[in-house]
Amino acid sequence: MATYSYRAVSAQGETHEGTVEASSETEAGRMISDAGLIVLSVQAGGAARSQRPVRSRRRGRQTFGEKELLLFTRELAVLLKAGLPLDSALSVLGQVASEPAVAAVVSEVRDAVRGGRTLSRALDEHQAFGRFYVNMVRAGEAGGVLDEVLGRLAEHLERSRALRETVVSALIYPAILLGVALISVVVLLVFVVPQFSDLFADMGKALPLPTRVVIAAGEILTGYWWLLAGLVVAAVVTGRRMLQRPEVQRKADHWLLGLPLFGELVLKAETTRFSRTFSTLLRSGVSVSEALSIAGATASNRVIEASVAAAAEEVRRGRRISDVLRETSPFPPLALHLVRVGEESGDLEGMLEQVAEIFDGEVQATIKRLLAILEPALILGLGVVIAGIIISILIAILGVNELAF
């Protein structure tokens, strides 16, 4: 038996938190439901902590982080499906919120709803709920299936988060290797190489070229580190400012897509995100042209975003989605073919979900291939650089020994 912590509400809207002994999470949820409570969340051990919230641009205050947004969406779907009125469900979520800033935002949304606004209009006033989120909620309100749409939205947010975490986690180890490599080289040049400088100064003949290069590099790092640090900071600041220009962003994103392996990874990840977002919007009742426009806006790559925006305009003029995407977008041929099949079969939403599943698996496979190449390449590069430094020192030392004899 394990201990599970839970959050739940009663039919009257009262919140309950506690622990229960059960053999599995499913059994724990069933026990709580049997007690007449609506289960919001069940977790093994202690209650989960929310990540630090981010700042809202529209209200200038702290609001939802990614984890809080997912939790809010899932719990609101559960409460609405259980039959609670919208304002009561929002009141409950405001009471159980783990962050004061989150509770404040939920309370503002509840007050707006009680004042006569729709949920989508109330959410649209807060930065945490982006265009995609608000349009999904608006479609659910129009179709009278808000609880179902929120459930799909929670599932979409969870999958998008998992995809992003997969990519980020895969890049952590290579980044650590690269950091260790740079630190090792700096330590050798700044602390080890200068120890031989006096010895080499007494040689009485010119040092070998590799040795002179290594010594010069060490002297530059030792004597002008502040200048190098300033140049690095200036380069980073200048690069970030340049990347804020749309034309520079577009060129950088185009170059990124053309990189071997890494560009393939970016394209497949963007294809997965686009397909899943497009499918979710269509299933929720959003029009094809509007769904295409919103799905394109969720892309992090400006090339893909611009191409999908152009495709949305052509679709509004009556053209087929697959034909337009084939002309304007860099999406893989397989994805475009499946979109065409979905159009012809009348199941575009289902086929888009299949595209997302296929390329989600492709992302995992590409990450494994990338790591299989990147990790040994970094280790080999580090070994070559360190060996080069050591060999350049040994060449000079052997020259000193020859002079001695």
Rounded-to-integer distance, Cα 6 and Cα 29, Å: 8
Q: Among the listed ranges 25-34, 168-177, 195-204, 290-299, which one has the minimum average pLDDT value?
A: 195-204
Look up residue 378 and give its amino acid.
L
Paired tokens of 351: 């086929």
pLDDT at 374 over 50: yes
Which of 24-38, 186-200, 223-237, 240-254 shows the lowest mean pLDDT across its residues? 24-38
- Under the banding of pLDDT at 50, 70 and 90, the label for residue 14 is low
Same fold, 53-129 and 155-405: yes
At 286, give phi and psi (nearest 5°).
Answer: -75, 145
Q: Which helix (H) or strand (E) holds 8?
A: strand 2-9
What's the confidence (pLDDT) of residue 84?
A: 84
Mean pLDDT, to the nearest integer, of 103-109? 87
- Lowest-confidence pick of 29-43, 57-71, 135-149: 57-71
Chain-centroid distance, C-alpha 67: 12
Kindly report the pTM of this predicted structure: 0.67
How far is Cα 237 from Cα 66, in angstroms, rounded to an integer?
A: 27
Q: Give percent above pLDDT 90 in the chain.
A: 5
Section 197-202 average pLDDT = 69
Residue 202 near residue 403, CB atoms below 8 Å: no
CA pair distance 91, 255, nearest whole angstrom? 48
Pick the CATH number of 53-129 from 3.40.190.170, 2.20.25.90, 3.30.420.40, 1.20.81.30: 1.20.81.30
CATH class of 1-48: alpha beta
Ranges 35-49, 181-195, 277-291, 388-402: which has the least confidence: 35-49
Q: What is the mean pLDDT of the chain?
A: 81
pLDDT of residue 36: 65
- Cβ burial of 250 (10 Å; 0-12, 13-18, 19+) is middle
User: What is the 8-class DSSP label of residue 301?
Assistant: S
| DSSP H or E segment with residue 3 | strand 2-9
pLDDT one-digit tens code per residue, 243-292: 778 788 888 888 888 888 888 888 998 898 888 888 888 887 888 888 88
Looking at residue 340, its pLDDT comes to 92
- The lowest-confidence range among 2-11, 134-143, 365-374 is 2-11
Per DSSP, helices labelled H in 43-116 are 66-81, 86-96, 100-114
Instruction: Specify the range with the lowest mean pLDDT, choosing from 32-41, 80-89, 319-328, 368-377.
Output: 32-41
pLDDT tens, 213-235? 888 888 888 888 888 888 889 98
Domain ranges of the chain: 1-48, 53-129, 155-405
Q: What pLDDT, on a 0 to 100 scale, did the predictor assign at position 68?
A: 83
Q: What is the pLDDT of residue 400?
A: 60
Nearest Cα residue to 40 out of 100, 2, 82:
82
| CATH architecture of the domain with residue range 155-405 | Up-down Bundle (1.20)
